[in-house]
Amino acid sequence: MAILVTGGSGYVGLNVVEALARAGREVVSFDMTLPPPVAAVELSSLPGRVHSVDGDLLDAGALDRAFHAAPIEAVVHTAAVTSGPAREASDPARVFQVNVIGTIGLLEAARRAGVNRVVVTSSGAAYGESLYRPGLMEEDATPVLPTTLYATTKYAAERTVRRLAELWRMEVACTRLGTLIGPWERDGSSHAQGVRDNFGPHSQLACIAVAGGEAVLPAEECTRDWVYSADVGRALVMLADAPSLPHAVYNLSAGIDWTGDIAAWCEVLAARFPGFRHRTAQPGEVPNIHYTDRARSLMSVQRLEADHGFVAMRDRAAIHNAFADWVGQVGRVWYAS
């Protein structure tokens, strides 16, 4: 039996597909585009079997083809438009259609195929204004106050799938992801089919390091509730396989204080890539590293640990070294593709 991963060529999706293939599993990767060549090569070297099906999430026929590419036992739904302000201003309908209507269409396709378990990736962004207030973000206690269109659609999708799961007697879990760092992130703005407008500072720095350039950092560091991308892939597979889903919503992050992480990551890259240089922008100078948001409060990760025993990597040095290994082995080609 196989796991269907929507958005399988995207940042989160590729980490899920890799986790499954690394474990020797069968996986159907569904996306508007096939995996980029460097990813396809990496996946083909793993013991699992990956079927790639291209199609639009809004196309019911394409979804049905994905469900019939192999016998499907569960779905991990990662397909989304991760929109920034410019896209939200220029094409708000597409953001809503993919993130909400597309999610409904996926559950309908799963129901037609007799697949009962669906894991939906939501976002910590759904907490909205609460993220900028003191205290841990808790799934049922923290007010959900989304402000951006992206955050609003992710929360709308959460509530929608929970209601449909109740009506259709399906098992659904929604995961509010922290901000990913690690393998398989691409700058969506540089690709015609890009649906991810954000490009994290760790990946921005890795690109500059691979090119042997100089990073000019903002004067003040912005900390986020970061989590290693491979851990996210592993956790989503775990939820797809879980004997039961005691809760409908889970925060998924590392749950640690990341203060000073950008500076530490720069030092790791400088040791691995001798041509890489970094410094803080001078007054009036425009940095070439940018943050996509303000600093955020942390999300509580106790529920996922209590229900399923999952703990993401919390050793920052280990995370940096794992990511730097990937950058040196795969990232050189990935960031240039």
Tell me what the mean pLDDT of segment 30-50 comes to.
96
Q: Is residue 327 in some structural domain?
A: no
pLDDT band at 296 (very low <50, low <70, confident <90, very high): very high
Tell me: the pLDDT tens digits for 308-331? Answer: 999 999 999 999 999 999 999 999
- 279: β partners: 216
Tell me what the mean pLDDT of segment 196-217 comes to.
95
pLDDT at 223 exceeding the cut of 50: yes
Q: Is residue 260 in some structural domain?
A: no
Tell me: the pLDDT tens digits for 56-68? Answer: 999 999 999 999 9
CA separation for the pair 325, 269 (Å, rounded): 10
Q: Is residue 189 in some structural domain?
A: no
- H-helix segments, 35-141: 37-44, 60-67, 85-90, 92-96, 102-113
Tell me: the pLDDT tens digits for 96-133? Answer: 999 999 999 999 999 999 999 999 999 999 999 999 99
Q: Is residue 170 in some structural domain?
A: yes
Domain that residue 130 falls in: 2-182+226-254+298-313
Q: State how many domains the chain has.
A: 1
Tell me: the pLDDT tens digits for 164-188? Answer: 999 999 999 999 999 999 999 998 6
Q: Is residue 68 in some structural domain?
A: yes
CA separation for the pair 205, 166 (Å, rounded): 44
3 state SS of 113: helix
Q: Is residue 259 in some structural domain?
A: no
Half-sphere exposure of 171 (CA within 13 A, CB side): 17
Q: Which helix (H) or strand (E) holds 177?
A: strand 171-177
Q: Is residue 95 in some structural domain?
A: yes
pLDDT at 190 exceeding the cut of 60: no
Q: What is the DSSP letter of 253?
A: S
| CA R_g for the chain | 19
CATH code at position 11: 3.40.50.720
Q: Is residue 86 in some structural domain?
A: yes
pLDDT for 195 equals 61
Top pLDDT among 190 and 323 is at: 323
Compute the mean pLDDT over every residue in the chain, rounded to the nearest whole number: 95
